[in-house]
Amino acid sequence: MTNNSELAFTVKAQEEIKRNGKEPILGGQLRTKAAWVDESLCIGCTYCSCVATNTFAMEPNYGRARVFRQDGDSSSLIQEAIDTCPVNCIDWVKFEDLDTLRAQLEAKSIRPLGLPPLR
Residue 116 beta carbon to ligand SF4: minimum distance, rounded to whole angstroms: 20
Residue 95 beta carbon to ligand SF4: minimum distance, rounded to whole angstroms: 19
Answer whether 48's CB lies under 8 Å from 39's CB: no
3-class DSSP state of 90: strand
- The C-alpha atoms of residue 119 and residue 60 are separated, in whole angstroms, by 24
Answer whether 69's CB lies under 8 Å from 50's CB: no
Interacting residues with ligand SF4 between 20 and 79 (CB under 6 A): 37, 42-48, 64-65
Nearer to ligand SF4, 30 or 45 (CB): 45
Site for ligand SF4, rule CB under 6 A = 37, 42-48, 64-65, 84-87, 89-90
